[in-house]
Each structure stands twice: as C-alpha cells, then as structure tokens.
Amino acid sequence: MPPLSTSAPGVRQAAFRFRCIACGDLSDSARQNFRCSQCGDLLEITYPHGKEAGSAAQNLKASWRQRRLSQSAIDQSGVWRFRDLLPALANDEQAITLREGNTPLYELPRCARITGVPRLSAKHQGLNPTGSFKDAGMTVAATFARLAGFRWVACASTGNTSASMAAYAARGGMRSLVLVPEGKISWSKLSQALDYGAVTCQLRTDFDGCLSLLQELVLRAPVYQLNSINPFRLEGQKTLALELLEQLDWQSPDHIIVPGGNLGNSSAIGKALVEMRDLGLISRLPRLSVIQAEGANALVRTLREAAGKRLISVQAETRATAIRIGNPASWKKAVHVLEATGGACEQVTEIEIAQAKAEIGAEGIGCEPASAVTLAGLKKLLKQGFVKPEESVVLVLTGNLLKDPDFTMGFHRGDLLKGTADESASAALNPLRRPPIVLDATLEAVIGALEQAEKS
C-alpha cells in the first residue's frame, strides 16, 4: 500500500471552473480546443470559492513544508505538493508524476558582477525530469487527460513540450502524437520524444503552422491537446512561482524575468503571483517581465505598435529555436499579467543571447539559448533604468544546457553565426569561447595547453 500523503488542515482541495479570458463566460466543461463556446477566446481555470486569506495562508505554508518530509509520490512532486491551489483530484494515485519541480534557486555571482546587480539568482527549471519547465504543467494536464478517458494526447512543439508530453503520456499509459517543424528543433529534444515512444511527425511548416493544424485536429479526432492553450498546463506551471516564493521565505523579489515564446509560462507565473497576493501568501507583487528574441518579437510589437489591444504576428526567426514562435497563442493572458504586475517586455539580439548563454554556462549551471534571453534582457532593463542595481532579480531558466548541444558547440567552435548578418559583430564573443583543442597524446602537448590557457 502506498504511503499516505498529508493534507492541509482547514484547507479544502480546489473546486474549479473554466472562465473565458475575454467575455468572462463560466462553464464546468471545456471543448477539446479549449476555446470559449461563446466568443472563441482562451479559457483559464478559476476557483470560485478558493480565496480564503489570512489563517488559511499560514496553514497552506505549513502544509507545503510538511509534505516535503513525506515519502508519497504526490507529496514528493514539487507540483502536486501545492495541490491545494490546483484542480482537485479524487485521490492521490490519479496523478501522473515523475517527481517534477523541486528545482534549485541558484545565486549567480559572476553574472551579478557582470550586470552590477548583487542580488541576482536563477530558478533553474531545466533541472526537471525531462530537462525543461514543461514538466510542471505536463504532470497536471496529462493527469486530467487520463481522467477524461483519453487514449491519445497531442501537441505542437518547438521541442520541449513534445519531450515532456511524450514522457508523461508513457508514464500514464497513453499514446502521444507530436507535431514539430521539420529541421527547426534540436536533435536532443526530438530524440527524447522518440525514446518515450511518441508518434513524431516533422511537418514542413513552422511551429505556428503545427499549432494551427493541431487546433483543427482536436476537433476531428479523439486526441487531447496538451499545448499551453490547455489551461491545466498553466495551473501546473503556476507552481514554479509558488516554489520560488517558498524558497525566498515568501518575501517577493523585485523582479522576475522570463523568456516569452507562446507565452504560456509568463501567463502561468503571473496568475500564480496574483493568486498568492489574493490569498495573503505574499504581501506585494514582483514585477514580471517577458523577454523575446528580436526575430520572434510578436509580444514586443503587440505592446509597442498596438498598445496590447491586438496581436501583431511575425515571421519568426531565431537560433533560440525553443522560442521561434511568431503567433503566440497566450498573448492576451501575457498582456494581462504584464499589466497586473507592472512588468516590462523587451527583445534581445542573437549576439546578446549567445553571450548571455555563455555567461550563464560559466557559472557552472548552463541553460539552453531560449533561457539565456533572461540575462540578456536584464542588461537591457538595467540600461533603461527599469531595473535598479540595488533591486533583487530572479531569472527563470527554462531549459537544460544539454537540450541544444549544437548551439553550444557552434558557439565555442566559432561557427554559430557564420554566414549570418551577425558574423562580423560576433568577434566580440571570442573571449567567452572555449573551443576543444585537438592534440597529440603527449604530456608535453597537454602541459603546453595548460600553460597557454593560464596566459589567456
């Protein structure tokens, strides 16, 4: 018999409904495309009776701490440990979990010196079971897919969602269908989906093309979609913020900075921050800022050119392939959270991304290129005076260094930006490069390399 898990005294598990983010329509069920039956906009999950501030907040904090001592699977998950703020399960065994979450918050002393922000840290979501932040959302959404009786789950992906979905589907005894843009995702991510047994289709289009095809597919075939349009995903991803604030002893940092692609993650973190404030878990909101690659800057343009009122799509192009997205599905949710938290939205160049990634690597933790936009963006926000050096800043690193070895090898060998408009400017990155050295297998040769390195 599995060990019993703990539950919060005086706090009931959350009943939930779906609410349209545009017209506010409330419903108990959602269609397979997770769009409002009245106006077609996106849905979010809402907890009508879940906002009990005061003593409940203290009970929750104590209960979440207590669960860390438990041996049960659901308590060991860094997502389900916070289940009081997630859609309720009838029993603990229903959760499909790989013990996701529980990711470290690292200080970044070198990057702190480079940026002149002493209180700089990184929440490393790349240390999740499949190597990205997607696992936090996937454990919840895959669980509800199985509860709804689906045999098939599906997603469009730039790689990380598909790796995560395939893993959780396999763990939950479901089949999975992956739609990825051909030639535009890293082999590491693709190979994960294959290993976890997904039916993997490389479509001759981009991510946006894959996602729009999936939206049609789910209305025609009995597959459950696990993109971040699925609001269960965002509920799971909320726990990133809960865990972060717990690690900070419930003292809000001044800034949280997150990469923006399809904009699900920023929406989830923002939702969590507002819920935490409303519940009395934190007393003030951090500013949540979103950073995009210059070549995939739909949200930046939407805010600058349309005041956040209508989406300006772009033809996306960036070497940070995880965020190579031109038509972000959750743009409206992201605009809401930027407004609610007073955050900023910025864009960074390919060179800035490559430099920031090497700087995070030199901290001994590393991340994938899309995650490095956060450090590059911080530098910009500092220059603009939006972030002050004395403020505390948390960067959300979304993916593991090992997710994109081609980028890392290209950077260190010096051919990452060859043949692009950035080629000549990329010489500025040379001091950060550590190319592999091919030598004869002699002691003298290795000592020579050591001496050479000591001088540089």
Q: Which residues would be at the binding site for ligand F0G (CB under 6 A)?
A: 132, 134, 157-161, 228, 259-266, 322-323, 368, 370-371, 398-399
Within 13 A of 362's CA, how many CA atoms are on the CB side? Answer: 17
Q: How far is the CB of 41 from ligand F0G (least distance, A)?
A: 18
Q: How far is the CB of 106 from ligand F0G (least distance, A)?
A: 17
Q: Between 74 and 165, whose beta carbon lies closer to ligand F0G?
A: 165
Q: How far is the CB of 211 from ligand F0G (least distance, A)?
A: 9
Q: How far is the CB of 113 from ligand F0G (least distance, A)?
A: 25
How many angstroms separate the CA atoms of 334 and 328, rounded? 10
Q: Between 253 and 270, whose beta carbon lies closer to ligand F0G?
A: 270
Q: How far is the CB of 296 from ligand F0G (least distance, A)?
A: 10
Q: Between 76 and 161, whose beta carbon lies closer to ligand F0G?
A: 161
Q: Between 60 and 256, whose beta carbon lies closer to ligand F0G?
A: 256
Q: How far is the CB of 161 from ligand F0G (least distance, A)?
A: 3
Please check whether residue 79 is in contact with residue 140, taking contact to mean a CB–CB distance below 8 angstroms: yes
Q: Between 8 and 268, whose beta carbon lies closer to ligand F0G?
A: 268
How many angstroms separate the CA atoms of 42 and 22, rounded? 8
Q: Between 5 and 302, whose beta carbon lies closer to ligand F0G?
A: 302
Q: Between 80 and 331, whose beta carbon lies closer to ligand F0G?
A: 331
Please check whether residue 112 is in contact with residue 120, taking contact to mean a CB–CB distance below 8 angstroms: yes
Q: Between 134 and 332, whose beta carbon lies closer to ligand F0G?
A: 134
How many angstroms separate the CA atoms of 253 and 235, rounded? 21
Q: How far is the CB of 48 from ligand F0G (least distance, A)?
A: 26
CA neighbor of 280 nearest in space, from 17, 59, 64, 16: 59
Q: How far is the CB of 261 from ligand F0G (least distance, A)?
A: 3
